[in-house]
Structures are given as structure tokens and as C-alpha cells.
Amino acid sequence: MAEKNDHTLDKLREGILQFQRETYPARQAEYEYAATHPQKPHTLLITCADSRIDPEALTASSPGEIFVARNVGNMVPAYGEMMGGVSAVIEYAIDALQVSHAVVCGHTDCGAMKGILADAGSLDAMPTVKSWLRNADAAKRVASTVDDGPTSLKTMTEQNVLLQMQHLRTHPSVAGALARGALSISGWVYDIASGDVRIFDEAENKFVSVRDTATAPVNQEKLA
């Protein structure tokens, strides 16, 4: 086991050296600016811990732009239920860093969502995960009413994002910022295979591909 670990650490070490050889020099000014100025991220992004999600790459963000909180299933425990890392990140992002937007980002092929839909006994060997996934209980119930027949992974994933957005609004810092008009919230589902992101559209009451919604402003910018 030690050998395997050493091999993994070697791979990580090589990655750091590659970063120092290639990425850092190419973006040195950005990193130096980030190091000498207080961080002022514009967005709090809450997403799943799934290793296939790369939030900075997905949003073409630079260091200092997005404040990221990750956990199994992109959950936001409702305020007061589980005071811990997620609640502290939210409070800090809103009150101290004053982000103007918060995102709850789910994704396709989410192991947490699959676990929720699977037989309840399948998580018995992981009691902590099992307990954590209870943050999505209401989403599971709602999802079961949306689909005819068994709940699809797509519906479960979407309903979970919507529920976690609701939970986010129960945090006093968020509620206050929303009331002041200082914060907006969006819910996303990232499709790992296609690279697309679908964002919840309240008017249409469904998730809409960013490819369909982003066209107008991008074109206007190009024309200007």
C-alpha cells in the first residue's frame, strides 16, 4: 500500500512541477495580482465533490473569481440543521466576501443521486454518506411525483438542485442579501459528457441549455 501511495504522490509532484513550468509562467501576472490583492470573488459555487467537475475550467474563471464549496451531492443543509463547513462557507462568501451570485451546480452521472435512487440498503456500509444524503430527502419525494414510473436520474438531479437552492435561501446571510437585492441565485446541471450546462429558468419552470440562453448577449458583444 505504501508503494501505491508513493506512486500517487510522485504523480502529484510531477503535476506541481508541470504547473510551475507551464501554467504559472503563462499566467504569472494573474497569480501575482491575486497574491497581492484581497480576494473579491463574484460568485459562490456549490457543487459536487465528483472529481470530473472542474469549476474553474467550466466557467473560464481566473484565480480569485469563484469561491467554491464542494461536497457529496452538492448539498446545502437547511440553516440550523447541520451547522458546519457548508454553512460557514456560505456565511463567509455572502457577509465577508459579498459575492453577488450563488450557484448550486449538480451534474450528470452523480454517484450521490444514484445512491439516493438505489435500494436504501446499498449505503449501509457508508453510514456518514447515508446520513448526509438525507439532505435530499424532499427532492427524492418530489422527483417521484414528476416522472411516470421509476424516478429518472435526470429528474432526481434536477430536483436536488432546486431543493438545495431552497435550502440556501434559509441561511440568514443569503436571505438578507436577497432582500437587499445584493444577491441572485441560480441552479445548474453540468453535463460531463457534452460540456453543456443547463440553468433553471423560473419563467419556463425548467432547466434550459446555456447554449440557448447565452447567444444574444454574446452576439451583441461581438457586434459592439
| Residue 105 annotated as lining a ligand binding site | no
Our CB check for Zn ion shows the closer of 110 and 123 to be 110
Is residue 155 within 8 A of residue 146, CB to CB? The reply is yes
169-189 as b/e: b if 16+ CB within 10 A: eebebbeebbeeeebebbbbb
Is residue 177 within 8 A of residue 138, CB to CB? The reply is no
| Residue 48 annotated as lining a ligand binding site | yes
State the minimum distance, in angstroms, from the CB of residue 25 to Zn ion. 34
State the minimum distance, in angstroms, from the CB of residue 111 to Zn ion. 6
Handedness of CA 193, 218, 63, 40 (dihedral sign): negative
Is residue 73 within 8 A of residue 135, CB to CB? The reply is yes
Our CB check for Zn ion shows the closer of 13 and 114 to be 114
d(CA 51, CA 4): 19
For residues 135, 136, 142 and 144, what is the CA-based torsion angle, rounded to 10 degrees? -140
Is residue 50 near Zn ion by the rule CB under 5 A? Answer: yes
Our CB check for Zn ion shows the closer of 78 and 112 to be 112
Site string for Zn ion, 108-127 (x = CB under 5 A): --x-x---------------
Part of the chain binding Zn ion (CB under 5 A), chosen from 104-112, 142-150, 178-186, 205-213: 104-112
State the minimum distance, in angstroms, from the CB of residue 128 to Zn ion. 16
| Residue 101 annotated as lining a ligand binding site | no
Site string for Zn ion, 1-40 (x = CB under 5 A): ----------------------------------------
| Residue 50 annotated as lining a ligand binding site | yes
Nearest to 138 by CA among 171, 121, 119, 162: 162
Site string for Zn ion, 158-187 (x = CB under 5 A): ------------------------------
Is residue 48 near Zn ion by the rule CB under 5 A? Answer: yes
Part of the chain binding Zn ion (CB under 5 A), chosen from 48-56, 132-140, 174-182, 213-221: 48-56
Nearest to 99 by CA among 47, 56, 42: 42
Q: How many residues bind Zn ion (CB under 5 A)?
A: 4
190-210 as b/e: b if 16+ CB within 10 A: beeeeeebbbbeeeeeebeee
CB count, 10 Å around CB of 151?
Answer: 20
Which residue ranges make up the site for Zn ion (CB under 5 A)?
48, 50, 110, 112
